[in-house]
Amino acid sequence: MTQLTPLKRGFALFALALGGFGIGVTEFATMGVLPEIAHDLLPGFATSPDTVIAQAGWLITAYALGVVVGAPTFAVLAARMSQTKLAFLLLILFIVGTVASVFMPTFGTLALSRFVAALPHGAYFGVASLLAARIMGPGMQGRGIALALSGLTVANVVGVPIATWIGQNAGWRWAYVLVTVIFAVTLVLCFAFLPRFPGNPERSPMRELSALRNFRLWIMIGVGAIGFGGFFAVYSYIAEVTTRLTGLSESTVPWILAGLGVGMTIGNLLGGWASDKDLTRTILFGFSAFIAVLVAYALLAWHPVGLIVCTFLLGVSSSALMPSIQSRLIRVSDEAALFGAAVNHAAFNIGNSLGAWLGGLVIAGGLGYLAPGWVGVVLAAIGMALALVGIGVERRDKSRNLNTVGISVPR
C-alpha cells in the first residue's frame, strides 16, 4: 500500500463515513414515508389508514431481514477478497437495490428491493470499520469503528429529516433517489481515495465459519441482540410518548429525534475513544449508564423537560456501547475479524425487532407509553449480564492457557 497523504487519508475516511450516512438515511427514511408508500401502493388507505400503514411496516421488516441474512453471508463468501474491493462491491449493490426501490411498481416488488438493498448493510459497516482502523493506524480500532458508524448517527440528525421532507413533498420515490445519489458519490470517493489493500488467499469460507464454534462470539451476539434491544424498545415509541403522553405537538417529534441523534453522535465518538483505552471497562460502564438512563426515562419522560433530557442521554449512552461491542466481537472472532464485525449489525437488527415487539406488547397490554422504558431496563440488564459472562469466560480461557504452558496466574 502506498503511503497516504493527510489529505487523501481524510478523504478516504470521509468516504467510508459517507457510506454509513447513506445507510442511515435509507434505513430510517422509510419509516418517515410509510404513509405515502401505503397510500400509493396498498388498497384501503382511505377507509383504514392505520391498518394499511401497519401493513406497510413489512418494508421495515424486509430490510431488517436483509441485514440479518446479508451480514454473515458476505463475510463468509468474501473471505479471500480484498477489503477495498469488497467495499466497492457492497456499494454497487446498495445502488442497485436503491434504484430498484425507486422504480418498483407494486408493494411486493418494493419489499423485495428493500430486502436486496439491505443485504450489504452489515458487511459494509464491518469492512468499513476494518478499513478505517487500518488507515488510521495501530491501536485505533475503536476510533475506526466509531468513524465508520459516525455517518449512521449523523444521518439521524440531518439526512433522515431531509429525505423524509423530500418524500412527503415530492413523492416517496424521490427519497430513494436521494439515497442513490449518496451511495453513488460514496462509490466515486472510495474508488478515488481508498488504499488498495490486497486480499488474503489463505482465507476460506470454512475458516470464517469456524468462528461460529467460538462460544464467546455467541455471547457477544447475544449482548448486541438483547442488550441493544433496550434502545429500540424506547426508540420505536418516542413519537407516541411525545404527542400522546407529554402533550407536545407532532411538529416537535423531529426535534426530539434530532436531539437523540446528536446524543448518538457524541456517544459514538466517546465510545470509540474509550474502547481504545479500555474495552472491558467501556462495556461495563456503558451498560451501567445505559440502564440508569432507561430507568430515568421510564420515571421522568412524562414531562417535556424529562423527555428531552432523557432521549439525549439515551442517545449518548446507547451509542457509546456500539463501538465497544463491535470491537469485542472482532476480538473474540480471532482471525475471522470481518465475520465478527459484520454479524454485529445483524445482531443489532435482531435487537431492533425484539425491542420494538416487546415494547408494543406492554403498550397493548395497557401498561402505558412509558412501559417500554422498563422493558429496555430488563433487556439492557440481560445484555450486561451476558457481557459479564463473556468477560469471565475469556479470563478463564486465558488462565487455562497460561497454566498449560506452566506460567502461574496471580489470584
**CATH fold match for the domains 1-201 and 204-401:** yes
* CATH architecture of the domain with range 1-201: Up-down Bundle (1.20)
C-alpha–C-alpha distance, residues 176 and 95, integer Å: 10
Contact of 380 with 230, CB cutoff 8 Å: yes
pLDDT for position 202: 66
pLDDT category, 55, cuts 50, 70, 90? confident
**pLDDT per position as a tens digit, 101-141:** 999 999 999 999 999 999 999 889 888 888 888 888 776 66
* Three-point CA angle 173, 98, 37, nearest 5°: 35
Q: Which three cell numbers stand for residue 79?
A: 473471505
Q: Is the pLDDT of residue 405 over 80?
A: no
**Mean pLDDT of the residues in the chain:** 84
Domain ranges of the chain: 1-201, 204-401
Contacts with 233 (C-beta within 8 Å, 6 or more apart), sequence order: 355, 356, 358, 359, 372, 373, 375, 376, 379
Q: How many residues does the chain have?
A: 411
pLDDT in tens, 276-313: 888 888 889 999 999 999 999 999 999 999 999 999 99
Of 224, 199, 264, 257, whose CA–CA distance to 1 is shortest?
Answer: 199
Q: Answer with the residue of higher pLDDT: 410 or 191.
A: 191
Largest pairwise CA distance in the chain: 76
Which of 96-100, 164-168, 340-344 shows the lowest per-residue confidence on average (mean pLDDT)? 340-344
Structurally, at CATH architecture level, domain 204-401 sits in: Up-down Bundle (1.20)
Type of residue numbered 210: S
Q: Helices (DSSP H) in 33-119: which residue ranges?
A: 34-41, 49-56, 58-77, 83-103, 107-118
